[in-house]
Structure 1
Amino acid sequence: MLAFYYDKSFEGLLCAVFDAFKLKKMPECLLSDDDVVPLLVSDSHHVEFRNSKYERVYSALQKKLSKIALNQILFTWLSELPESDLIIFRYICKVFKSNYSFETDFGDPDVLAIHDIAKKVNKEKHHIQQFVRFNAIKNPTSDEKIYFAVIGPIYNALPLTTRFFKDRYADQKWAIYDEKRQYGYFYDLEKLEKISLNDDLIVNNKINQDYLTDDEKVFQTMWYRYCNALTIKERINPKLQRQNMPRRFWQHLPEMQQK
């Protein structure tokens, strides 16, 4: 069994595709240097990352695939599912070997897997756009107000939503943080940048109440009472509610908290 070692980045994966065609060898598994080596591995190759290799493969993909198929590859990568990188690797190799429009060959298991995984990630992307709740917090380093939200999605779909939030909230400073993956994005009215947190802003997967502005605390209480007043107790349907609003988002929704 041949194993390819790479840096576990999307760009590195495309470099692995480049090396596979150059060496005329197809790996059975893709590993990082920290992975446990499977017992059946008898040969290995370390993929060297180079921008020239990544750009060449990606440029060729753009010529062979539609924009929808390219997005499906990206969505599958962001799923972070086990062996999703190997599925993408095999898919791309088959694309380059095929003389027809391979992306619609749903009889191939890798095409079907890419399609199904991308569909799930896209659904999570829309859930994030629907259920993000911003909280007005005080900037720890200044007196300015920032709208801050915490999420913990199943898939790493946050990068797919930044354009949506940037367009929708272009006139205010905001930040969205994925507490599950320990990173987020901050928009300062001009540019979007990736961030990480090292302080106590998030406690038990929730925003530390000490950072909320006084107005925010009042608004959250009023919003909860408003939603509670409109609720018709006799028509509550927990099963349907969970279908339309996954339970994993509830801890970040003010209207779902117990008062």
Structure 2
Amino acid sequence: MLAFYYDKSFEGLLCAVFDAFKLKKMPECLLTEGQVEPLLVTESHFVEFRNSKFERVQTALEKKISTTSLNQLIYVWLSELPESDLIIFRYICKVFKAEHSIETDFADPDVLFVRDIAKKVSRERHYLMQFVRFTTIENPIKYSGNNQPDKIYFSVVAPVYNALPLVVNFFKDRFADQQWAIYDEKRQYGYFYNLESIEKISLADPDDLIVNGQVRQKYLSPNETLFQNMWLRYCNALTIKERENPKLQRRQMPKRFWHYLPEMKGK
């Protein structure tokens, strides 16, 4: 069994594809340095990262498949599922070996996997676009960014898949005149928009700021609790009790998001 070692980045994965065709050897597993090898591994290859390698593969891939399929590969990568990188690797290799497009060859298990997982990640992306709720923070918070604003709109999320990178441009366009940050507490990173650009951040002390998915009271602006209570009362006033359908509500609004939503307090 042949094992390829790479840096576990998408660009590094494309470098692995380059090496596979150059060496004319296809790995049975993809590992990172320090990862325990399966018992059946008899040969190893360490993939050297080079911009020229992944750019060459990326350019060739863009010519062979549609933008939709290329986005699906990105979505599968962001799924973080076990061996998703190996499936992407095999998919790309099949693209280059095939004389015709394989994008709709759903008899192929790798093509089917890419389509199905991409759908799930896309659904998670739409959930984030719908259910992100911002909280006004006036006390300064410490994070690994260049700017340290005194007031921002802050949101905490914990998606099943790593879908946060897929929605930052949506919120940039929607809230272009506000400084905001969205933080993924599950993966311990987020994005901050400073009215000019988006930068990736990590909190210096997440537990000091966030508890049970909520921003601690000491960091909230004076009127934040009032606004949240008003929003809750407004939503309750609009509710028609006779038309409540909890089963449909949980299907359209998964319960794992409820503790992030002010309008769902007490439910």
Same fold, TM exceeding 0.5? Answer: yes
2:29 — aligned with what? 29
Deviation at 1:210, TM superposition (A): 1.4
1:90-169 correspondence to structure 2 within 5 Å? 90-140=90-140, 144-169=150-175
Asked if 2 retains the 8 angstrom alpha-carbon contact of 1:15 and 1:49, the reply is yes
The residue aligned with 1:48 is: 48
Given the alignment, which residue of 184, 189, 203 partners 1:183? Answer: 189
Q: How does 1:187-206 map to 2 (within 5 A)?
A: 187-199=193-205, 200-206=208-214
Cα deviation 1:109-161 (Å, max 9, x = unaligned): 11111011101100100000000001111141677321000000000000000
Q: Which runs of 5+ in 1 are unaligned?
A: none
* Aligned residues of 2:6 and 2:31 also touching (Cα < 8 A): yes
Number of aligned residue pairs:
259
Alignment of 1:232 with 2:232, yes or no, is: no
For residues 50 and 256 of structure 2, the distance between their equivalents in structure 1, rounded to whole angstroms, comes to 39
What secondary structure does 1:103 align onto?
A: coil
Task: Specify the code of the residue in structure 1 equivalent to 2:151.
Answer: K
Letter matched to residue 246 of structure 2:
P
SS of aligned partner of 1:34 = coil
Q: Mean alpha-carbon deviation: is it higher for 141-150 or for 97-106?
A: 141-150
**Does the 8 Å contact 1:10/1:77 carry over to 2?**
yes
- Which whole-Å CA distance do the structure 1 matches of 2:112 and 2:27 have between them? 21
Tell me which residue corresponds to 2:265: 257
- Percent identity, aligned pairs only, is 71
Are the structure 2 counterparts of residues 144 and 115 from structure 1 closer, same or farther at C-alpha, using a change threshold of 3 Å?
same
Q: Does the Cα contact within 8 Å between 1:139 and 1:146 map onto a contact in 2?
A: no
Give yes or no for contact 1:133–1:253 (8 Å, CA) kept in 2.
Answer: yes
Q: Which residue of 1 aligns with 2:230?
A: 222
Q: Which amino acid aligns with 1:77?
A: W
Query: Which residue is equivalent to 1:241?
Result: 249
Q: Please say if residues 139 and 220 of structure 2, whose CA atoms lie closer than 8 Å, have aligned partners that are also in contact.
A: no
Give the match for residue 88 of structure 1: 88
Distance in 1, matches of 2:151 and 2:244, equals 36
Bigger mean CA offset, 82-91 vs 198-207: 198-207
Query: How far off is 1:207 after superposition?
Result: 1.3
Bigger Cα displacement from structure 2, 135-144 vs 49-58:
135-144
In structure 2, do the counterparts of structure 1 residues 221 and 139 end up closer, same or farther at CA, with 3 Å as the change threshold?
same
- Give structure 2 stretches of 5+ with no counterpart: 142-147
Q: Which one-letter code corresponds to 1:56 in the other structure?
A: R
Whether 1:39 aligns to 2:77 is: no
Tell me the TM-score normalised to structure 1 length: 0.96
TM-score between both structures, scaled by the size of structure 2? 0.93
